[in-house]
Structure 1
């Protein structure tokens, strides 16, 4: 089943903007700072955090920066830097100390639950009627190198993936970009990449024979396959499924 969380959050984001604009056009008084650019940064930060279960720190940095400039706009005419800036530093420090476990631990626990589910399944189904591929996927040991994790907020990164047992991953680009090279990677069957691109872009380099299936929710953006087209002579058994949200950004596939 396709993950619909990206569609829901993108829809709420657009509905919120539309509602505020409509209320203003009907003459309802709204504070001047409501439409300040820093508030959109806060909303985008919360959006990115919710999409990734608030596991990385990029969303918090965006909320922190947006909050600083929003407070300055609200208390225009007062020098807030002597108070707000130290508070922001305290909040950032506390977040780094108390932030949730890393993504790798989250995935490791998820893999552990799959192993427990497999053991429970074996106890009630000793004949093992599921396919061998599903059994191996459930029983497989967790390896962090088999997952892609690329977080790009106000910056960029370039990664070459060498895993021969790729399991999928998460790619985030907010006001930045991420380049992922999968030409040295391999996997069996299909993998799922969860992409969040907001005012940013993601470029993924894959072999020309791999299949690409997009299940992305795109708003003022999209997924573009710019690979060279080869004759369908070679059997294709690799499928990359792209899910997530693209908002004022894009995902681009290329091959060498």
Structure 2
């Protein structure tokens, strides 16, 4: 059975400190201690969420960096009246950064697939060169290589939507929508990010071999996850100005204690919906 291991950075503890800090500031203000007004503004909330997400992902989260940038920009502009005159540039620059991110990510995936395929073909060739069963092995090798090429192309294309056999989720819906069905029988978890977009994820044909964790980050977007009725879904998601709805249909089907999905992450100005068939 796959063992569940906690991430190195405990997001719940970090978020707890954020809430604790806000509470302390409010208390100090109520008892008459001077607190700058900008400390309790909405851009500071974005900054706190951005830092929280970056710390949780060891400063490797595009989502956290984006939220931190937005919070810092609007704080400096609205509260400190710093005239950056960047409003008209934010959207096109954001698209450029997003495009570079997607191109780089896709290139890394293609390089990885190419290396795996080359190693596999090298291994098969070494077996074909053996004297036993020469023609038969060569025929099998050609057939297997063709099959491998087809499955590799299918796996590469699955990132764009549709059906995927991947054991690890890595779906980004940024200024777009993704509708994906997972068919893996050994799903190991992964990451879902929806920023100004939406994700529809169908896990009804998938299977898991023990507890898994799925990281969920939503900002100004929506996410719907369809799961089998016998899975145990545990939601540990922080929601701010957002809604989390569990619309699963509870039937007589017993919950399987081995099928545990832990949802962790942040939902900001968006929605997360969990359903079953």
What are the Cα deviations for residues 127-174 of structure 1, in whole angstroms up to 9, with x where unaligned? xxxxxxxxxxxxxxxx99211123456775433223233111123456
What are the Cα deviations for residues 46-95 of structure 1, in whole angstroms up to 9, with x where unaligned? 1122222232312111111221111112432x533169x79xx6xx97xx
- Which ranges in structure 2 are unaligned for 5 or more consecutive residues? 113-154, 157-165
Q: Does 1:188 align with 2:209?
A: yes
Correspondence for 1:29:
34
2:57 corresponds, among 36, 47, 52, to: 52
Q: TM-score, normalised by structure 1?
A: 0.61
Higher relative contact order (CA 8 A, sep 6+): 1
Correspondence for 1:114:
none
What are the Cα deviations for residues 15-61 of structure 1, in whole angstroms up to 9, with x where unaligned? 12112212222223333322221121111111122222232312111
Q: TM-score, normalised by structure 2?
A: 0.57
Correspondence for 1:134:
none
What are the Cα deviations for residues 198-224 of structure 1, in whole angstroms up to 9, with x where unaligned? 77654210122x321416265678865
Q: Does 1:212 align with 2:212?
A: no
Please give the root-mean-square deviation of Cα atoms over the aligned residues, in Å.
4.2
> How many pairs were matched up?
209
Paired with 2:17 and 2:260, the residues of 1 have a C-alpha distance of 28
Q: Is the 8 A contact 1:58 1:151 kept in 2?
A: no
Q: Is the 8 A contact 1:223 1:251 kept in 2?
A: yes
Paired with 1:48 and 1:156, the residues of 2 have a C-alpha distance of 22
Paired with 1:15 and 1:174, the residues of 2 have a C-alpha distance of 27
Paired with 1:176 and 1:19, the residues of 2 have a C-alpha distance of 35
Q: Does 1:149 align with 2:154?
A: no
What are the Cα deviations for residues 213-236 of structure 1, in whole angstroms up to 9, with x where unaligned? 416265678865422233338x95
Q: Is the 8 A contact 1:165 1:186 kept in 2?
A: yes
Structure 1 residue 185, shift from structure 2 partner: 2.1
Paired with 2:63 and 2:18, the residues of 1 have a C-alpha distance of 19
Question: Are the structure 2 counterparts of residues 69 and 246 from structure 1 closer, same or farther at C-alpha, using a change threshold of 3 Å?
Answer: closer
- Larger mean CA deviation between 216-225 and 199-208 belongs to 216-225
Q: Is the 8 A contact 1:218 1:246 kept in 2?
A: yes
Q: Does 1:160 align with 2:215?
A: no
Specify the SS of the correspondent of 2:213: strand
Q: Is the 8 A contact 1:203 1:251 kept in 2?
A: yes
- Which ranges in structure 1 are unaligned for 5 or more consecutive residues? 109-142
Paired with 1:44 and 1:14, the residues of 2 have a C-alpha distance of 11
Specify the SS of the correspondent of 1:54: coil
Correspondence for 1:118:
none
Paired with 2:48 and 2:173, the residues of 1 have a C-alpha distance of 17
Structure 1 residue 13, shift from structure 2 partner: 1.4
Correspondence for 1:123:
none
1:9 corresponds, among 4, 14, 18, to: 14
1:240 corresponds, among 248, 256, 260, to: 260
Specify the SS of the correspondent of 1:146: coil
